[in-house]
Amino acid sequence: MSSPFKFEVNHQAAANGPRTATFNTPHGPVRTPAFMPVGTYGTLKGLTPDQIRATGSTMILANAYHLHLRPGHETVRELGGLHRLMAWDGPILTDSGGYQVFSLGHRCRIDDDGVTVKSVLDGTQVRLEPARVMEIEAALGADVAMAFDHCPADPTDRAQVTAASCRTHRWLDRCVAWHRAHGGEDRGQALFGIVQGGAFEDLRRASVEAVCAHDLVGYAVGGVSVGEDRSSMAAALAASVPYLPADRPRYLMGVGTPRDLFDAVALGVDLFDCVTPTRHGRNHQAFTRSGKLNLRNLRWRESTAPIDEDCSCYTCSHYSRGTLRHLCKAQEMLAGTLLSIHNLTFFHDLMAAMGRAIENGGLGELRSQYAAAVEG
């Protein structure tokens, strides 16, 4: 049986430079560079699948750890799997929970085999081990399952990062073994490995080597955008991305801002995810080429202009800044929905523009057109 996954580079001017590609999954193709919106509990907050699709989303992300806690992965399986639950027939990727468990301050006890964490819902002990996480992700049934990794809380603490990398590699062996033993990609679910190594170039290089020793459908760079400064992040990326196999999708986890996206796309990263557009939307911030707008600002009270004259999203086609300000001030839930729609459209439009710019050799020029958004 041939793999239902295929990655085709469409355009790449130079080795280790920016590229456009198509990542084919059992639920359709993803044109990269692409941004994946985050639907932690099986929905983007406040958006229906029709609204999500209209923003330009193709592949979306959900969190295996959260869905394991609620409603439970077996319940999701009984309900027909994550695609049915999310009413999303496009590609889905599930994060394994490594980031949530280690970085979001849950009380957890870690050992060489896994982690014991107290559920935020009811205080019960939850045990996560590589095989268990694979089992959870298999029950959810996303197109891509992320390996269970250890994301160190402080990427500048060498001892901590070393230990986390070692665990990540050992756990990846177990994830791969479980995945192979359960049909591999033929089951319709690919496994992506995750590179760690914190802010240390040698540890990043070593982690790339260990992770890429496994022949996987795709590879991710984890442990960035966890609070480190910009130069540490740049160094971590420079020591990771160029060494990942050129013929596989490269996914930078949890990133990011327009600036981060330009930086990483220039290095040849294909996939991204971040809560930024939806979370900022719920907080009444709108992304534009001219920088972020705070829609609660008094200056928009009687503004009949849309957020962005050139944006074709539902929000910009139907609502003025003045109306949006009113909806924000009145704390109407529709405000979060409308601003999430605009922000996701902004991010997807940006990625599509990057793709065209890569094919026309004008990525630098595009970045200068987005200068205010990049600096914001």
Catalytic positions, please? Answer: 95, 273
* Smaller CB separation from its own copies, 182 or 282: 282
CA distances 337 to 119, 127, 245, 280, 286, Å, are 29, 35, 38, 11, 12
DSSP 121-162: TT--EEEE-HHHHHHHHHHHT-SEEEPP----S-TT-HHHHH
C-alpha–C-alpha distance, residues 334 and 240, integer Å: 41
Phi-psi region of 295 (alpha: psi -120 to 50; beta: other; left: phi over 0): alpha
Name the minimum Å distance from CB 173 to its own copies. Answer: 33
- Residues lying near its own copies in the complex (CB under 8 A) are found at 41-51, 70-71, 75, 78-80, 84-85, 87, 301-302, 304, 314, 318-320, 322-323, 325-327, 329-330, 332-334, 336-338
* Smaller CB separation from its own copies, 53 or 158: 53
* Smaller CB separation from its own copies, 196 or 340: 340
Name the minimum Å distance from CB 319 to its own copies. Answer: 6
Name the minimum Å distance from CB 272 to its own copies. Answer: 23
Which stretch of DSSP H or E encloses residue 87?
Answer: none
CA dihedral for 65, 69, 73, 78, sign (positive or negative): negative
CA dihedral angle for residue 343, residue 349, residue 355, residue 359, rounded to 10 degrees: -150
C-alpha–C-alpha distance, residues 324 and 335, integer Å: 6
Name the minimum Å distance from CB 102 to its own copies. Answer: 23
| Cis preceding-peptide flag for 71 (omega within 30 of 0) | yes
* Smaller CB separation from its own copies, 236 or 286: 286
